[in-house]
């Protein structure tokens, strides 16, 4: 990367990382090499996306901190008993405002495909929720944001997506019920250029650093750039370490990673697929794109998101970051027909049906078992 061209990365810096994590105060003026453009006529990237990578990591770090702050301040036993979802709503809006603000500062011409808009925060009906979001954001940023600024940042996520140009896609909290339970959720950010995911970052605040030590240190950030491999480091900083999908080649030795919520997975179909593959090990169940993270670093070999209805269409923000992290770790991802996920169709994966992720050695066998199971139930 040439050193002659440089661009300043402007970052809004948070005052405090939750006390369960170690987080040094960050420099708000990081200088990085300028990034060359993609050539849409080329099948391979001609840019390293250094600046985009650094900004995306920082945005996900800060959003993860906001989510942890919301959990600490607003989630309690009474919240869970009453099934009150307002804390996750506050966290969703706050995290999206933070990420979109950072993206706008550094890439003002890049649109964002996000899950949230600010309509529920406006007017008298939205006053209470709006004040919580504004208070939460400004309690954690060094440079306070105005109410209008926060609402505008949230609404930057309404881009329609598509097959040309570049845009980001964001899920500020993937795994809302996991968040409320204090279990797995993820902040998910991906960069799409000409309909293909080129960069993905997952912030997983509650994911154990070592799955063999579930009571050990938690908080993982994963990042991948097309053609550069996949890496993880601890949330809050530290050295990046390369990750790779497992090398298990016999399906009977594989482990499933599946959703906690039955609304996102058909556990019965999964069980039948496991039987066809000779799998007897207990599944690892967790919410959010943390399942992609688990497969990417070899904690599990298979993640399925089978269609729960004939009409349901997957959203791009639910799969963008996880998709590239799996690919760059040496795994494979497709729909149930073996077609690559197509991120060129707008806000949804309308050209695909379901999602199958697995390590490369057993992927074809998994696809065959999926098709056999669904064909027998007329679900293909």
Residues annotated as catalytic (active site), given as ranges: 92, 176
102 within 8 A of 11, measured Cβ to Cβ: yes
| Residue in 84, 92, 85, 86 with CA at minimum distance from that of residue 67 | 92
* d(C-alpha 380, C-alpha 374), whole Å: 6
The tokens describing 24, both together, are 């040094």
**186-193 and 166-174: which strand pairing?**
antiparallel
Q: What is the dihedral of CA 337, 342, 348, 350, to 10 degrees?
A: -50
Residues 6+ apart with CB under 8 A from 220: 202, 204, 207, 208, 209, 232, 233, 234, 235, 293
Report how far apart the first and last C-alpha atoms of the chain are (Å, whole number): 47
* d(C-alpha 126, C-alpha 278), whole Å: 52
Q: Where are the alpha helices (DSSP H) in the chain?
A: 50-74, 77-81, 86-106, 127-138, 147-155, 176-181, 267-277, 290-296, 320-328, 363-376
């Amino acid at each position: 990367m040439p050193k002659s061209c440089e661009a300043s990365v402007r970052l809004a810096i948070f005052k405090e990382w939750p006390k369960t994590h170690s987080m040094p105060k960050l420099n708000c003026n990081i200088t990085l090499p300028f990034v060359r453009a993609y050539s849409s006529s080329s099948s391979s990237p001609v840019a390293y996306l250094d600046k985009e990578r650094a900004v995306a990591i920082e945005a996900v770090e800060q959003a993860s901190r906001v989510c942890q702050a919301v959990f600490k301040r607003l989630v309690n036993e009474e919240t869970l008993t009453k099934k009150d979802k307002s804390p996750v709503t506050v966290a969703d809006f706050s995290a999206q405002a933070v990420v979109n603000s950072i993206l706008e500062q550094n890439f003002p011409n890049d649109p964002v495909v996000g899950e949230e808009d600010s309509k529920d925060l406006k007017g008298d009906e939205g006053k209470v929720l709006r004040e919580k979001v504004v208070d939460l954001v400004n309690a954690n940023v060094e440079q306070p944001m105005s109410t209008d600024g926060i609402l505008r940042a949230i609404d930057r996520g309404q881009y329609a997506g598509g097959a040309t140009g570049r845009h980001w896609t964001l899920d500020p909290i993937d795994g809302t019920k996991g968040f409320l339970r204090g279990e797995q959720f993820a902040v998910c950010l991906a960069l799409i250029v000409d309909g293909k995911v080129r960069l993905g970052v997952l912030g997983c605040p509650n994911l154990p650093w070592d799955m063999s030590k579930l009571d050990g240190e938690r908080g993982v950030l994963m990042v991948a750039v097309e053609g550069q491999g996949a890496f993880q480091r601890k949330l809050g900083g530290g050295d990046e370490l390369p990750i790779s999908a497992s090398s298990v080649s016999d399906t009977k030795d594989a482990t499933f990673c599946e959703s906690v919520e039955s609304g996102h997975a058909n556990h019965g179909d999964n069980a039948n697929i496991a039987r066809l593959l000779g799998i007897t090990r207990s599944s690892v169940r967790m919410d959010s794109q943390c399942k992609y993270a688990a497969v990417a670093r070899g904690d599990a070999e298979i993640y399925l998101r089978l269609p729960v209805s004939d009409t349901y269409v997957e959203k791009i923000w639910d799969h963008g970051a996880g998709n590239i992290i799996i690919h760059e770790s040496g795994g494979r991802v497709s729909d149930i027909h073996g077609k690559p996920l197509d991120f060129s169709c707008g806000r949804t994966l309308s050209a695909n049906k379901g999602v199958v992720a697995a390590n490369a050695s057993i992927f074809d066998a998994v696809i065959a078992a999926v098709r056999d199971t669904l064909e027998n139930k007329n679900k293909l």
